[in-house]
A and B are shown apart, each in its own frame.
Chain A
């Protein structure tokens, strides 16, 4: 099995925000801020780079929205391998937390 690289904070939150469904960049940014209580912000440059890299990795894909009022809006959707990467990262973080509790 390939060694799991820790995700950067931005990658982690982007994947987390997409776990419940597709979203656009702005939605991801807002949801990240809300989830983290304002601690984590994802600026446009960071967002473009992170989503581009994760599309290359096959973790997320781009779809066009067909919701009324949001037509032709670019949405990001988690893929199966993206879900696996997120799961692995959550497990890793959980293990690290448990380790800390054991000290």
Chain B
């Protein structure tokens, strides 16, 4: 690729689209002409002989042909659209034309409609993300784990940022053109990528043990009482569902490599879910000491 092209990775939040337009206009003055606008990166070509003015529109376009024609009629050239519904236009700059001829929204109503199209999406998405945050917050009362805590904060931060964007877009006079825009965008993206990635990896490393053991008759001899082992890769809360039935008291244990029982339950009948075990990293084994005729169901994650 020749040096006549350049890619810019400058990102803007939706509520600062006006600053993006300003920056595109300035770039054009410095002979860098936008050829493809994007959320994450934009492509420019060097051409010192032309000077463009840019505009951005947002929304789902029902009739692309009519849309492009309506803009072309007033000298706007359609550049491209991003996957999430931003549309880029440019118009050759003619200093003899009044500044208003470079506006695409010429009344308050239509500008608000455009802002509201984005704000509505941000509100819906923000509420969905907030609902996930509430879900993980409630779940943490009974089922607190590191991955679920990460997910809680991930959804909380994302919904807060989106709802803030919704508010700014709905009240454009209040706080347009805030600084620190790139930082907000970077935080949002890294929270999504890191939060989702780390919680998926940690979730995948948890032992997902599930087993039932049943002796078919009272006459059956005692079998080898160690039948299952598992690894805990990182210290966290782990949750055990346990059901025991036996004709005489039996003992269920989770034993670590040092031979110490980290969990013990002795009963003839026992049925409990979500027993919280704080387990350090290590290797563990289930063990039962029992008579014949027992039934064990156990599920650990």
Listed in ascending order, the chain A residues whose CB lies under 8 Å from chain B are 8-10, 24-26, 29, 40-52, 62, 74
Interface SS of B by simple majority: mixed
Flag whether B23 is at the interface (Cβ < 8 A).
no
| Sample of 8 A–B contacts (CB below 8 Å) | A25-B69, A25-B74, A45-B105, A49-B113, A51-B66, A52-B63, A52-B66, A62-B66
**Within the complex, what minimum Cβ distance (angstroms) separates B299 from chain A?**
55
Q: Once the chains bind, are B70 and A47 in contact (CB under 8 Å)?
A: yes
The CA of A44 and the CA of B55, in the complex, are separated in Å by 10
Q: Once the chains bind, are A46 and B62 in contact (CB under 8 Å)?
A: no
Other A-B pairs beyond A25-B70, A44-B70, A46-B105, 12, CB < 8 Å: A10-B110, A25-B69, A26-B74, A41-B106, A43-B106, A44-B73, A44-B89, A44-B104, A46-B104, A49-B114, A52-B63, A52-B66
The CA of A34 and the CA of B89, in the complex, are separated in Å by 26
Which residues of chain A are near B286, meaning CB under 8 Å?
Answer: none
Which B residue sits closest to A48, measured CB to CB? B70
One digit per residue, 1 when the CB lies within 8 angstroms of any chain A CB and 0 when it does not, for chain B 281-300 equals 00000000000000000000
The CA of A50 and the CA of B106, in the complex, are separated in Å by 11
**Within the complex, what minimum Cβ distance (angstroms) separates A15 from chain B?**
15
Q: Once the chains bind, are A74 and B66 in contact (CB under 8 Å)?
A: yes
Which residues of chain B are near A42, meaning CB under 8 Å?
Answer: 106
Q: Once the chains bind, are B105 and A43 in contact (CB under 8 Å)?
A: yes
Flag whether B224 is at the interface (Cβ < 8 A).
no
Flag whether B100 is at the interface (Cβ < 8 A).
yes
Q: Once the chains bind, are B71 and A50 in contact (CB under 8 Å)?
A: no
Q: Once the chains bind, are A9 and B107 in contact (CB under 8 Å)?
A: yes
Q: Once the chains bind, are A29 and B109 in contact (CB under 8 Å)?
A: no
Which A residue sits closest to B62, measured CB to CB? A52
Which A residue sits closest to B63, measured CB to CB? A52
Which A residue sits closest to B108, measured CB to CB? A8
The CA of A48 and the CA of B63, in the complex, are separated in Å by 10
Which B residue sits closest to A44, measured CB to CB? B71
Q: Once the chains bind, are A10 and B74 in contact (CB under 8 Å)?
A: no
**Within the complex, what minimum Cβ distance (angstroms) separates A75 from chain B?**
11
Which residues of chain B are near A26, meaning CB under 8 Å?
Answer: 73-74
One digit per residue, 1 when the CB lies within 8 angstroms of any chain A CB and 0 when it does not, for chain B 108-136 equals 01100110000000000000000000000
**Within the complex, what minimum Cβ distance (angstroms) separates B83 from chain A?**
20
Which B residue sits closest to A56, measured CB to CB? B62
Flag whether B263 is at the interface (Cβ < 8 A).
no
- Known A10-B110, A49-B113, A52-B62; judge A43-B103 contact (CB<8 A): yes
The CA of A99 and the CA of B85, in the complex, are separated in Å by 46
Which A residue sits closest to B55, measured CB to CB? A45
Which residues of chain B are near A44, meaning CB under 8 Å?
Answer: 70-71, 73-74, 76, 89, 104
Which residues of chain A are near B74, meaning CB under 8 Å?
Answer: 25-26, 29, 43-44, 47
Which A residue sits closest to B71, measured CB to CB? A44
Flag whether B67 is at the interface (Cβ < 8 A).
yes
Flag whether B57 is at the interface (Cβ < 8 A).
yes
One digit per residue, 1 when the CB lies within 8 angstroms of any chain A CB and 0 when it does not, for chain B 79-109 equals 0000000000100000000001101111101
The B23-73 residues at the A interface (CB cut-off 8 A) are 55, 57, 62-63, 66-67, 69-71, 73
Which A residue sits closest to B113, measured CB to CB? A49
Q: Once the chains bind, are B69 and A74 in contact (CB under 8 Å)?
A: yes
- Known A48-B67, A49-B113, A62-B66; judge A8-B107 contact (CB<8 A): yes
